[in-house]
């Protein structure tokens, strides 16, 4: 290890040394290239442009002289070796010491390989068609496997109905608390505010026709039939759908799901059932809460804007109330819960190896769940309108 | 070798988690140009010590000096200097999962060196070949690599700036014996060519014999012994005796004796055709 006595200062970035430089020099036995300064990775940007100058590349040197280089590392050696390969006539490398020889021997094997060719990129229009086609095919496959997953889940539910004892009660209770109880404050507050907004804006518009009193019916229909369930579903998709994807995704990335399978444990029963069933049970409860809070918000706003007291509000509501709105709103909740839960779990199982995909799929789960909830809501609206309820 | 050239030194380092004392008054020196192996039983605090040296978990007491800079007093500038001069290979590579191998290697280059795209690609390709990966691996994402390949890719990233010191946490754990052997050879040839100093935590007795110049034993909350393997064999400490004279230790020693008797010069890097 006698060669290892390198001056400490020299090995490191070459502080206090000159920048790398390269010049062609005509000597008695031909042109040679002289390199000076510190050829270390942090300084190389000073010389990269010079290395590509046509005058340098056009030279026909007999040798590249590295003896004046004050410090050298693998990156510097790589650039010099590549320069040497570029010349015809195989110029010699003049080296200072054993260390430089070692460095060049280290970088030489890969240095002169041609750069891998980038495939020609097709014209933009073709690229566009490519992307479009690719997206459609991926979407198609994803939809197919989502429906597959939904089917598998429903089948497992049927199995559950036959053997109810198999349901993981502890796990179910835990998820019901997370999904339902923990969401109470946010759902209540949001619904109350939405009720306030609807009543306030409605009263303002209806006053133009002198029909302020109908604001009560407006609040009733919008909150009970549409906004209550829709807002709650969106909040729950953001809170719980994303959590399902992240939890299952992390387990998938960590090979925990595979471990369960090898032990003969069914992830569908252990991971999906408690989550989705908890959601199906809790979302209607949250929607009920949201309805109450929405009406309350409406009542408060009505009192503030048209001066009708809370008990008068309740009286009118009772007189004109069509309970169908309430039932329809509440009836949509389990369907939306199924959508949110199944999409959340499905995306979680799509995680592969990298932890990177957990984040991406979580976002996707939320967007997809909200999208599907709104699509189904529209379908319900058309359906019930056709039925005339 | 000039023995006085100390590149990392620890003085009076203590670490505790609550009432659980992991290190107490621990001293350690790493000399320039050596490969130092750090061994010790599971839970003896090797990983914690490594994290202390890297200042990821500053020690509760004591001083760590790296490249002449006491870390406790280091300012922003000194830290930048130190961080570009050391390379770290974490146990599972710790590659950035959203980037390809090439981009992973270019992360430190981008941060510290003002180079153009083409030169950075060249440098990344060089480090990929140096660390014994096939050239095509550069375009792959970490999830598409095997455990051993991830380790090599992590090494390639650690070598991006030609560091002065390399810290390795169990570099050969989880590699097949042939892969582990070629990793050892790779370390030796890189040490020769780049003048590296290496500090590695390892459980691999073969690695200790083939690559380590000195071995430090972490036991009883401090460095119980440090020296060449021959020197350690003379030490009267129950754990060390058990370690080297247990069945695995004896087999490794016997193999090493046989191979050094007919030892061939180390292959140059880049020739590790597996
Ligand atoms: N974050 C932490 N909180 C509490 N205790 C910890 C923490 N990290 C480590 N320890 C404790 O410190 C001790 C040393 O742990 P360390 O991970 O350094 O062991 P090791 O020597 O690397 O073992 P191995 O060979 O198994 O990797 C252990 O007893 C461990 O319980
Ligand atoms: Mg450890």
**Chain A residues lying within 8 Å of B6, measured CB to CB:** none
Cα A218 to chain centroid distance, Å, stands at 39
Band (pLDDT 50/70/90 cuts) for residue A12 is very low
To test the ligand 1 pocket, which listed residue (B13, B46, B58, B221) has its Cβ within 8 A of the most ligand atoms? B46
Which candidate, B186, B191, B217, B222, places its Cα nearest to that of B202? Answer: B217
Chain A CB within 8 Å of residue B20 CB = no
A78-A79-A81 Cα angle (round to 5): 65
**Residue B132 in contact with ligand 1 by CB distance below 6 A:** no
pLDDT tens for residues A315-337? Answer: 988 888 888 999 999 999 999 99
Q: Do B161 and A41 touch (CB under 8 A)?
A: yes
Chain A: residue whose CA lies nearest to B33? A4
Q: What pLDDT sits at residue A181?
A: 94
> Mean pLDDT over all residues of chain A?
87
* pLDDT at A15 (0 to 100): 60
Chain B residues within 8 A of A113 when measuring between CB atoms: 135
- Interface membership of B200 toward A (CB under 8 Å): no
**Could you tell me the two tokens for B200?**
């590695």
In terms of pLDDT, which residue wins out, B84 or A379? A379
Does the CB atom of residue B19 touch ligand 1 within 6 A?
no
Residues 6 or more apart whose CB falls under 8 angstroms from that of B64 comprise B8, B9, B10, B11, B13, B52, B53, B55, B70, B71, B72
* Cβ <8 Å between B97 and A42: no
User: For position A11, what pLDDT does the model report?
Assistant: 43
Q: Which residues of chain B have pLDDT under 50?
A: 1-3, 263-274
Do residue A105 and residue B123 have CB atoms under 8 angstroms apart? no
The angle subtended at Cα B122 by Cα B165 and Cα B158, nearest 5°, is 20
- Does A13 have pLDDT greater than 80? no
* C-alpha A344 chain-centroid distance: 13
Interface contact flag, B190 A1, Cβ < 8 Å: no
CA–CA separation, B245 vs B218, rounded Å?
17
The 10 Å Cβ neighbour count of residue A89 is 9
- Cross-chain CB nearest to B193 (options A12, A103, A110): A103
Give the β-pairing of B61-66 and B6-17.
antiparallel
CA neighbor of A319 nearest in space, from A175, A173, A213: A213
- Find chain B residues with C-beta within 8 A of A360's C-beta: none
Nearest CA in chain A to B147: A353
| Residue B52 contacts residue B64 (beta carbons within 8 Å) | yes
pLDDT, tens digit, 9 for 90 and up, residues B82-133: 888 888 888 877 888 888 999 999 988 888 888 888 888 888 988 898 888 8
A109: nearest CB among B33, B192, B270: B270
**How confident is residue A365, by pLDDT bands cut at 50, 70 and 90?**
very high
- What is the DSSP code string of B16-29? EETTEEEEEEEEEE
Please count the CA atoms within 13 angstroms of the CA of A275 that sit on its side-chain side.
28
Ligand in closest contact with the CA of B168: 2
B116 has a chain A CB within 8 A of its CB: yes
Token look-up 């809370």 returns: A310
At B190 the pLDDT is: 81
Contact list in B for residue A13 (CB cut-off 8 A) is: 84-85
Q: What is the H or E stretch that residue A135 is in?
A: helix A124-162
| Cβ of B91 less than 6 Å from ligand 1 | no
Residue B142 with chain A: CB contacts under 8 Å: 354
Are the beta carbons of B113 and A355 separated by less than 8 Å? no
Give the ligand 1 atom nearest the CA of B15.
12
Of A1, A74, A108, the CB nearest to B162: A74
Greatest CA span in chain A, whole angstroms?
113
State both tokens at A339.
């959508």
Q: In sequence order, what are the beta bridge partners of B197?
A: B165
d(CA B123, CA A111): 9
| Both tokens assigned to A13 | 């970035």
DSSP state of B140: S
pLDDT at A6: 37
- A92 beta partners: A63
Q: Kindly report, residue by residue over A199-226, the tens digit of the pLDDT.
A: 999 999 999 988 888 899 999 999 999 9
Domains and CATH numbers, chain A: 7-111 (3.30.750.24), 150-159+166-387 (no CATH)
pLDDT at position B4 is 55
């Amino acid at each position: 290890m006698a060669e290892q006595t390198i001056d400490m200062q020299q090995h490191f970035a070459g502080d206090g040394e000159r920048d790398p430089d390269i010049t062609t020099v005509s000597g008695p036995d031909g042109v040679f290239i002289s390199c000076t300064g510190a050829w270390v990775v942090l300084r190389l940007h000073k010389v990269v442009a010079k290395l590509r100058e046509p005058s340098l590349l056009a030279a026909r040197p007999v040798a590249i002289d590295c003896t004046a280089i004050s410090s050298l590392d693998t990156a510097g050696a790589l650039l010099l070796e590549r320069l040497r390969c570029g010349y015809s006539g195989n110029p010699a490398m003049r080296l200072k010491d054993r260390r430089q020889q070692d460095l060049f021997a280290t970088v030489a094997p890969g240095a002169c390989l041609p750069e891998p060719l980038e495939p020609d990129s097709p014209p933009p229009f073709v690229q566009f068609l490519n992307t479009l086609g690719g997206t459609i095919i991926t979407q198609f496959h994803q939809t197919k496997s989502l429906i597959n997953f939904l089917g598998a889940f429903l089948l497992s539910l049927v199995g559950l109905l036959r053997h109810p004892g198999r349901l993981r009660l502890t796990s179910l209770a835990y998820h019901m608390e997370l999904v339902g109880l923990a969401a109470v404050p946010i759902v209540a507050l949001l619904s109350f505010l939405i009720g306030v907004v609807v009543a306030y804006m409605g009263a303002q518009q209806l006053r133009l026709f002198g029909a302020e009193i109908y604001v009560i019916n407006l609040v009733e229909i919008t909150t009970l039939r549409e906004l209550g369930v829709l807002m709650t579903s969106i909040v729950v998709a953001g809170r719980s759908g994303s959590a399902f994807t992240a939890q299952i995704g992390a387990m998938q990335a960590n090979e925990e799901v595979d471990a369960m399978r090898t032990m003969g444990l069914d992830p569908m029963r252990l991971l999906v059932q408690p989550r989705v069933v908890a959601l199906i049970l809790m979302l209607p409860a949250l929607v009920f809460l949201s309805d109450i809070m929405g009406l309350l918000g409406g009542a408060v706003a009505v009192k503030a804007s048209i001066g009708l007291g809370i008990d008068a509000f309740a009286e009118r509501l009772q007189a004109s109330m069509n309970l169908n709105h309430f039932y329809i709103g509440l009836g949509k909740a389990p369907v939306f819960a199924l959508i949110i839960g199944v999409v959340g779990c499905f995306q979680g199982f799509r995680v592969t190896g990298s932890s990177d995909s957990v984040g991406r799929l979580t976002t996707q789960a939320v967007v997809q769940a909200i999208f599907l909830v709104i699509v189904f809501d529209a379908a319900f609206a058309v359906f019930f309108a056709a039925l005339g309820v | 070798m000039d023995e006085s050239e100390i590149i990392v030194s620890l003085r009076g380092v203590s670490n505790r988690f609550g009432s659980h004392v992991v290190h107490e008054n621990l001293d350690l020196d790493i000399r320039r140009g050596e490969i130092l192996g750090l061994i010790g039983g599971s839970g003896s605090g090797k990983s914690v010590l490594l994290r202390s040296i890297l200042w990821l978990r500053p020690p509760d007491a004591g001083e760590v000096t790296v490249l002449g800079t006491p870390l406790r007093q280091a300012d922003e500038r000194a830290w930048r200097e130190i961080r570009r001069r050391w390379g770290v290979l974490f146990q599972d590579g710790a590659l950035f999962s959203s980037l390809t191998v090439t981009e992973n290697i270019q992360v430190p280059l981008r941060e510290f060196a003002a180079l153009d795209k083409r030169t950075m690609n060249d440098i990344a390709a060089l480090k990929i070949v140096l660390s014994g990966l096939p050239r095509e691996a550069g375009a792959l994402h970490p999830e598409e690599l095997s455990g051993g390949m991830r380790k090599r890719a992590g090494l390639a990233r650690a070598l991006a700036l030609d560091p002065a010191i390399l810290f390795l946490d169990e570099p050969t754990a989880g590699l097949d014996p042939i892969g582990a052997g070629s990793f050892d050879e790779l370390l030796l040839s890189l040490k020769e060519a780049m003048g590296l100093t290496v500090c590695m935590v390892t459980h691999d007795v073969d690695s200790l014999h083939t690559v380590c110049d000195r071995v430090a034993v972490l036991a009883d909350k401090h460095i119980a012994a440090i020296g060449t393997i021959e020197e350690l064999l003379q030490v009267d400490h129950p754990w060390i005796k058990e370690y080297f004279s247990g069945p695995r230790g004896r087999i490794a020693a016997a193999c090493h004796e046989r191979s050094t008797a007919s030892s061939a010069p180390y292959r140059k890097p880049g020739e590790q055709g597996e």
